[in-house]
A and B are shown apart, each in its own frame.
Chain A
Amino acid sequence: MSLSQIGLGLVLMALLTTAIGIPVGFVAGATRSAEGLRWARRLAYLFGISMLLANVTMEIALLTHDFSVSYVASVGSLATPIHITMVSLWSSLEGSILFWGLILGGFTAAVAYLQRQGHEDYLGYTLGTMFVVGLFFSFLIAGPANPFRPTPLPIPTDGPGPNPLLQNHLLMIIHPPMLYLGYVGMTVPFAMAIAALLRGQLGPTWLRPMRNWLLLPTSFLTMGIMLGGWWSYEVLGWGGYWAWDPVENASFLPWLVAIAALHSAIVQQRRGTLKAWTTILIMMTFLLSILGTFLTRSGVVNSVHSFTQSPIGPLFLGFLAFCLVVVVALLALRIDTLTSEPSEDAVVAREGAFLLNNLLLVTFTFTVLIGTLFPIIAEAVRGVKVSVGEPYFNRMAVPICLGLLLLMGIGPALPWGRASRAQIRRALLVPIPAAIGGLALAFLLGGRHPSVLLTGALAGYALWVTLDQASKPARARLKKGESLPTAVDRSFRKAPRRTGAYLVHFGVIITFVAIAISSSYQVNLEASLTPGQSAEVGPYLLTFDGIQLIEKPHLTSQQATITVAKAGKSKGVLQPSLNYYDTQREPIGTPAVKTTLTHDLYLTVMNVGEDGRLGLRAIVTPAVVWIWIGVVIMVAGTILCLLPSRPVRTTKSVRAVESAA
């Protein structure tokens, strides 16, 4: 039996499993049958195993260069290094959908195993919904996007190799899987939201697992978005990390809504309100993931990421339409069952801040969505080609981000529930010196842009509140006479999620500040240099030593050598290059970046003249590295949030502080 046949057989097995799993899951959900649930879980394992084996089969085909498998013939090459061959599973459309199937199978099996206890009321429906999504992807892999199709005869002896951009940088290897883990992972909270609507109730056995299954893909998405920005910065050579490209927006949209959902879930847990709202946000997260995948995979929007048009576009649209209709119908039928618990308090203080936060995040989402879809709408309605550029997005994003930063300061400072005016005033006035400090610091460091100064003030305020709130339980324990290490350890173990959440806020503040600084204070230089000539940019003196021609299989590269000096001292050599891939018409520049804690020196080759003249672009951008550091802190915080809390010895007064926060 050939690998083509084995692979297709496994995919058909997944298709069959999900097709059986759908009725089994939903019937088990409706009848609350324990036996039915057991079968639904077995089918979930079988689905996961089929997808795993199908992916293993493809890896074997790739690594053994079995060009009789169509996908291997289209992305494989004998000359490609082995680690690139392994990851070329997700270098092209068919392979990445197969990989998507693996992740979906993994998530389905993981939910079936990890939620086997405590979530029984919902699990049948949850798995049933995941099987529906699984069926769609299995169908795509088995039919329209089948990577196991036999190659038409004669079978080639070698292939073209994967997309050169994939080979250009290590980040391209880990960036797509992170995004896929994020996108696909959103299926789990979505399925749980559908289950809640079908069941007509949202209890604590729903909320707790849902939040963890929402946090997990959100952290993958955070990581994926950051790696995408970093990759674009390190590889593409235009000196920026975010361009509001449709593909970037596609990953940003579900992320924004997921963040909104995580916050409204906190209100739901605390006050028993916002149930329907949280459910809608969770479902939007998944729908936006599918919409984003559709936009980037169907070729209907113009993007720097060149995806070709493919036959799966209409199918994806059909699936999106199906999901939307089901969601709207279910909401219409069941939303009234998700009534909030009666609450004697009016919406005050911290709840109000949470609501504003949700409002801002949803506004942000629609702003980005409209900007991304506008070219399509304009063409459909008026038949004209337009593009929506960065200025629109930046103009909208800056005030919204400043608003979010403001809320990150005042929200956690406010008490829950009803509070007196005096209490609120005191809570909000205390951190004001920190805001003044932030403003002064921004000014002293040379900040003159109003947006930078405002960011400084708001960040100072938010930083104070974050540190104050994060350390509150530990400080209460210190007062009770516990030693510092014990106090910190116990308050952390008691509520890792709390520490994690404030760590995430800390990371967000750092990232916001770094983005404000880096986007406002770039120094740019474009120079045309002959060997031996120098140019100055910021504090640096750049001397062009010469061009080397480097020939590699599949590409020719012109590498410039530039000696960097600062205040008369040598700071080493940077070698940006211009790469000509055999398969691409346009050259791809590889920048050379010198990163320090305060700023980056970024060099790209614009062109190399026939006379050996170098067209060099040099950019000095402050604070870039802090964007990545901030995001890493955010991800670390999210991971802390996933840790279970453990009981520790707590006195009454400490408990009061902990529950108030």
Chain B
Amino acid sequence: MNRTVVLVGALIVTPLIVVLALSFGKDPRAIDSPLIGKAAPTFTLRDLDGDVVALEELRGQPVVLNFWATWCQPCVVEHPLLIASANRYEGQVRFVGVIYQDEPQDIRRFVSQRGSWGPSLIDTDGDVAIAYGVYGAPETYFISSDGVIAEKVVGAIRPDVMASILGPLL
């Protein structure tokens, strides 16, 4: 019996198996589930012009809350759809963007070139993103008119998905 092999083997095998076993039941993709059906975390942030936007003041209308950045490809992809949707649902739904790990001047340049679909809020220190448990950009939260998170979409959103989620919320 070679004791070195037993020792080294045990030192490698035990932590590996324990760590892998602990990872069960934690689906790395389904990070959203705890928030759906719960009250949306409130926030008060300033937009690019310095105006204050508070989520609580938007109650009474469904809110599409989109975490995005200019460096994120799917965000760029879904940008035209968000503009079109903001136009289509004008007066019925509020579209609000939260800047996710990006610089305000980059957002400003991007918006001036490609248009805007709503206020872009500066999330200093990323507190709001943490409160919503944002894993990456883009993530879109659909908040009902009474302030409850109804649905979450990870990745670029599609027109039909947008319509099918917003329909019941109106």
Q: What is A's interface to B at a CB cutoff of 8 Å?
A: 238, 294, 298-302, 306, 309, 313-314, 317, 320-321, 324-325, 327-329, 331-333, 335-336, 373, 375-377, 379-381, 385, 528, 580, 585-587, 606-610, 613, 615
Contact status A335-B156, CB under 8 Å: no
The stretch from B6-14, B43-51, B118-126 touching chain A is: B6-14
Q: Shortest CB–CB separation between residue A35 and chain B, in angstroms?
A: 33
Residue from the list B13, B23, B135 in contact with A379, Cβ < 8 A? B23
Docked pose: A298 CA to B19 CA in angstroms: 14
Q: Please name the 6 residue pairs, one residue from A and one from B, whose CB atoms are nearest each other, closest first.
A: A328-B9, A302-B28, A332-B5, A300-B23, A380-B22, A607-B77
B69-101 toward A: CB 8 Å interface, digit per residue (1/0)? 000011011111100100000000000000000
Contact status A607-B2, CB under 8 Å: no
Contact status B2-A298, CB under 8 Å: no
Contact status A609-B80, CB under 8 Å: yes
Which has the most chain A C-beta neighbours within 10 Å: B26, B28, B77, B156? B28
Q: Shortest CB–CB separation between residue A166 and chain B, in angstroms?
A: 20
Contact status B31-A586, CB under 8 Å: no
Known: A320-B17, A328-B13, A587-B156. A606 touches B76 (CB 8 A): yes
Contact status B19-A376, CB under 8 Å: yes
Known: A314-B24, A585-B158, A610-B84. A331 touches B76 (CB 8 A): no
Interface assignment of B55: CB less than 8 Å from any CB of chain A: no
Docked pose: A94 CA to B51 CA in angstroms: 55
Chain A residues positioned under 8 Å from B19 (CB to CB): 373, 376-377, 380-381
Contact status A379-B26, CB under 8 Å: yes
Chain A residues positioned under 8 Å from B76 (CB to CB): 606-607, 615
Interface assignment of B53: CB less than 8 Å from any CB of chain A: no
* Least CB separation from A330: chain B residue: B5
Contact status B5-A376, CB under 8 Å: no
Chain A residues positioned under 8 Å from B135 (CB to CB): 385
Q: Shortest CB–CB separation between residue A579 and chain B, in angstroms?
A: 12
For this complex, 7 residue pairs linking A to B, each with C-beta atoms less than 8 Å apart, are A306-B29, A324-B16, A328-B10, A332-B9, A379-B22, A385-B135, A607-B78
Contact status A331-B17, CB under 8 Å: no
Known: A317-B17, A324-B13, A580-B158. A332 touches B27 (CB 8 A): no
CB neighbors of A among B120-140 (8 A)? 135
Q: Shortest CB–CB separation between residue A578 and chain B, in angstroms?
A: 9
Docked pose: A332 CA to B11 CA in angstroms: 14
Docked pose: A29 CA to B153 CA in angstroms: 57
Q: Shortest CB–CB separation between residue B137 and chain A, in angstroms?
A: 13
Contact status B27-A328, CB under 8 Å: no
Q: Shortest CB–CB separation between residue B103 and chain A, in angstroms?
A: 18
Contact status A585-B153, CB under 8 Å: yes
* Least CB separation from B87: chain A residue: A610
Docked pose: A615 CA to B83 CA in angstroms: 15
Contact status A302-B84, CB under 8 Å: no
Q: Shortest CB–CB separation between residue A641 and chain B, in angstroms?
A: 31
Contact status A309-B27, CB under 8 Å: yes
Q: Shortest CB–CB separation between residue A311 and chain B, in angstroms?
A: 11
Docked pose: A81 CA to B78 CA in angstroms: 32
* Least CB separation from A335: chain B residue: B2
* Least CB separation from B31: chain A residue: A385
Contact status A375-B20, CB under 8 Å: no
Interface assignment of B155: CB less than 8 Å from any CB of chain A: yes
B46-64 toward A: CB 8 Å interface, digit per residue (1/0)? 0000000000000000000
Docked pose: A609 CA to B79 CA in angstroms: 9
Docked pose: A37 CA to B41 CA in angstroms: 69
Chain A residues positioned under 8 Å from B22 (CB to CB): 379-380
Q: A300-B26, A321-B17 are in contact. List 10 more A-B contacts (CB 8 A).
A: A298-B24, A300-B28, A317-B17, A328-B6, A335-B5, A376-B20, A380-B19, A585-B155, A607-B76, A610-B80
Q: Shortest CB–CB separation between residue B28 and chain A, in angstroms?
A: 4
* Least CB separation from A385: chain B residue: B135
Chain B residues positioned under 8 Å from A314 (CB to CB): 21, 24
Chain A residues positioned under 8 Å from B5 (CB to CB): 328, 331-332, 335
Contact status B80-A317, CB under 8 Å: no
Chain A residues positioned under 8 Å from B153 (CB to CB): 585
Docked pose: A585 CA to B153 CA in angstroms: 9
Q: Shortest CB–CB separation between residue A360 and chain B, in angstroms?
A: 20
Residue from the list B10, B21, B29, B73 in contact with A606, Cβ < 8 A? B73
* Least CB separation from A528: chain B residue: B114
Docked pose: A586 CA to B76 CA in angstroms: 14
Q: Shortest CB–CB separation between residue B85 and chain A, in angstroms?
A: 10
Contact status B26-A587, CB under 8 Å: no
Chain B residues positioned under 8 Å from A309 (CB to CB): 27
Residue from the list A298, A377, A586 in contact with B158, Cβ < 8 A? A586
* Least CB separation from A321: chain B residue: B17
* Least CB separation from B25: chain A residue: A309
Docked pose: A331 CA to B21 CA in angstroms: 24
Chain B residues positioned under 8 Å from A608 (CB to CB): 80
Contact status B2-A380, CB under 8 Å: no
Q: Shortest CB–CB separation between residue B29 and chain A, in angstroms?
A: 6
Residue from the list B10, B21, B27, B31 in contact with A317, Cβ < 8 A? B21
Which has the most chain A C-beta neighbours within 10 Å: B20, B24, B26, B155? B20
Docked pose: A333 CA to B9 CA in angstroms: 12
Contact status B156-A586, CB under 8 Å: yes
Docked pose: A538 CA to B23 CA in angstroms: 46
Chain B residues positioned under 8 Å from A385 (CB to CB): 28, 31, 135
* Least CB separation from A526: chain B residue: B76
Docked pose: A528 CA to B76 CA in angstroms: 11
B27-40 toward A: CB 8 Å interface, digit per residue (1/0)? 11101000000000
Chain B residues positioned under 8 Å from A335 (CB to CB): 2, 5
Docked pose: A385 CA to B26 CA in angstroms: 11
Docked pose: A333 CA to B3 CA in angstroms: 9
Docked pose: A606 CA to B73 CA in angstroms: 8
Contact status B28-A607, CB under 8 Å: no
Q: Shortest CB–CB separation between residue A562 and chain B, in angstroms?
A: 18
Chain B residues positioned under 8 Å from A317 (CB to CB): 17, 20-21, 24
Q: Shortest CB–CB separation between residue B68 and chain A, in angstroms?
A: 14
Residue from the list A302, A336, A376 in contact with B29, Cβ < 8 A? A302
* Least CB separation from A280: chain B residue: B5
Docked pose: A381 CA to B29 CA in angstroms: 19
Q: Shortest CB–CB separation between residue A395 and chain B, in angstroms?
A: 20
Q: Shortest CB–CB separation between residue B35 and chain A, in angstroms?
A: 15
